[in-house]
A and B are shown apart, each in its own frame.
Chain A
Amino acid sequence: MLTLQSYLTLGAIIFSIGVIGIVINRKNIIIIMMCIELLLIAVNFNFIAFSYFNQDLAGQIFVFFILTVAAAEAAIGLAILVALYRNKKTIDVQELNSLRN
């Protein structure tokens, strides 16, 4: 029998993978966006787990909303990425440090 704890552990593992992916990624901005999606997925996973074990459907409804917003966000993110590529001719995070200075 799967307990709540195992679901939460899986969620935490996915979340950590997302964080680590953002921090140690030195190459591609798309990977960062994918990692952000991973973070959202981990959170959604927790929502569903809690919703199931608490017998409350509200959590699962939240997940629908979050997924919708996340899809829109990803679309905007990719659009920015395209614009960025047109300007800078690169999507390498090592070179995108114009926030400094």
Chain B
Amino acid sequence: MLYQLSVLVLVVPLIGGILAGFLGKTTGKTFTNTVTIFSVLASFLISSYILYTILNQPDLIFNQNIYRWLEIGSYSFNIGLLIDNLTASMMVVVTFISLMVHIYSIGYMHDDPGYHRFFSYISLFTFAMLSLVMANNFLQLFFGWEAVGVMSYLLIGFWFTKESAIKANFKAFIINRVGDMFLLLGIALLFSLSGSLDYSTVFSSGPMINNQLFFITENLSVSALTLACILLFGGAMGKSAQMPLHVWLPDSMEGPTPISALIHAATMVTAGVFMLARMSPLFELSESALSFVLIIGSITAITTGLLGLVQFDIKRVIAYSTLSQLGYMVVAAGVSAYSASLFHLMTHAFFKALLFLAAGSVIVALHHEQDIRNMGGLRKRLPVTYTTSLIGTLALIGFPGFSGFFSKDALIEAVAHSTVYAHEFAYYCVLIGVFVTSLYSFRLLFIVFHGPLSEHNNNVQEPQLSIVLPLILLSIPSVFVAWPTVGPMVFDSFFSNSIVQPTSIELFGYEFTDSLHFLTHALSGPVTYIAISGIGVAYLFYIKQPEIPNKLALTFKPIYKLLREKYYFDYLYENILAKFFSSLGNSLWNLGDIKFIDNYIVNGTARKIESLSNKAQLLQSGYIYHYALMMMLGLSVFLGWVIINKIGMAS
């Protein structure tokens, strides 16, 4: 029963997407949004039912192959489903956010000529993301991984007449390719070591793999498992936009805002974090891999947060915030607190989707204005958007009582109690990150909604219901979702059937009793004070004395320039790496392809045959007596050969 329902969850958005894509243009907007919204709604309801069922009857969890796709020798590759607590909770989060975004898009995309295309894409994206999450083997994971990448590519470049959008989707696609290559190598390595792609087989042979060495050269070897884990994490670095593969995410804001909320904040970019949790039985065996994860995560968390301070595009600020929060999730995975990582993933999905959709609401209200310098004082004109943004922002900075507080506090607590290499570095990074987060979040909030209302924004008004409704629906979980869930999900054994991690006492050094008690924890740790001081500084900088930031920018000009230029990553990639590779490609093309293959092998064969046949043509005089002579000569040579052989045999 549960099995059929799970298949249904997966298939329904696919059908919805296909119907909307092929029939949408002829049948009109109502058909398009009805069919896709109802398919995603159905998917969401069934997912919730599945989660509810397996919470009550944990023995219903299953890992089953649906279909044998391919068989090579003794290896078989299956399409299968693995439904456990991790999968089920991800399914609910993905389908819920997707549903909100579908509803929101009715209003946001209303006048767009690509209406049906858009709905088709986001439904197909939902299908792809679900198949990534529900996979029971690496092959299907990889399929989902690539499929979400394709949908992301199509949606970033949704307005394909805009040059910047085309460049952004190219960038996203190419940089994701780099990560995907690592992922594929990791999968291949695991396959060669364990002989299977099924999660259960690979995980059970983990300890055996751990003892094997991988020889890079004759004398240089590394632990095969560590290498495999780092390669898998390389894939996560691409998809979850970790340093130094993060550059595509801010540019992906060229896509429509609902996409930024759905794909580039709530779901797809968290695929890497999801994968880390899924692979926890492997990562737990390799301390070096965990340290690597931790270091990359902490660098991402702090550095990208700083970039959010100097951006003026409303969506880019939130994009950098997403990067920084992804860094937090990766840090949590690095200290083995996968449950905290996933919990932050879930709360972040709600409040970041909320923040993006609120930003979209502002953008619609101001007729597609995205520069925050042209905003200000909008709180009186857009009260609902303001309130929901405030809720999202408070949740983002981890203000006590909001969902973000529970996830972030648990996460930082886990870092504080970690013993992994580089945990101290990570701890300071995440603490500074908290300050930076609240500074840029409130900078955005103050600049957009407070201050004087400018003249041309005087008759701005709240957008239509389908835009405002998802904001309200999302702000509810942004506040409350953590209250009942933090105990079981982070500290208790909710994920024990899907994730391998140390006990919560070892991880957090904290005995969880109830959520209210956990709230008092805010007073004892530094996190809340740091967050509130961030708000204070933001208030001082952007409301009380707005000239301070400019002065600071002038005083620390090199630092400001470094931040404005995003640490010169784009410069490095464009002018050094891309140039190097394109000149390498060009020279290979000129030397290898044009000169060698085309000129030598392809055309060379033809030329040689032509010159040989020109020579052979000389024999063809056309005179009968020449041909007759040839016949005679041939005959005598042949006869001579026979005779000589005969003589040789006789003697």
Contact = CB atoms under 8 A, between A and B. Distances in A.
B629 interface: yes
B624 A100 contact: no
B620 A25 contact: no
Contacts, number: 34
A87 interface: no
Interface in A48-101: 93-94, 96-101
Contact of A93 (B620, B623, B629, B632): B623
B625 interface: yes
A23 B625 contact: yes
The SS class assigned to the B binding surface is helix
B643 to A, nearest CB: 14
A32 interface: yes
B622 A23 contact: no
Contacts of A23: 625, 628-629, 632
A12 interface: no
Interface size class of A (residues with CB under 8 A): 10 to 19
Nearest to A21: B625
Interface string B610-642: 000000000011111101110010000000000
A32 B624 contact: yes
A93 B622 contact: no
Contacts of A99: 620, 622-624, 627
A98 to B, nearest CB: 7
Interface residues of B, number: 10
Contact of A22 (B620, B621, B622, B629): B629
Contacts of B628: 22-23, 32
B622 A25 contact: no
Contacts of B625: 22-23, 25-26, 32, 93
B188 to A, nearest CB: 60
A97 B627 CA distance: 11
Contacts of B620: 99-100
Which of the listed residues A22, A25, A96 has the most CB atoms from chain B within 10 Å of its own CB?
Answer: A22
Contact of A98 (B622, B627, B629, B632): B622
Contacts of A8: none
Interface of B: 620-625, 627-629, 632
Interface of A: 19, 22-23, 25-26, 29, 32, 93-94, 96-101
18 contacts: A19-B632, A23-B625, A23-B629, A23-B632, A25-B625, A32-B624, A32-B625, A93-B624, A93-B625, A94-B623, A96-B623, A97-B622, A99-B620, A99-B622, A99-B623, A100-B621, A100-B622, A101-B622
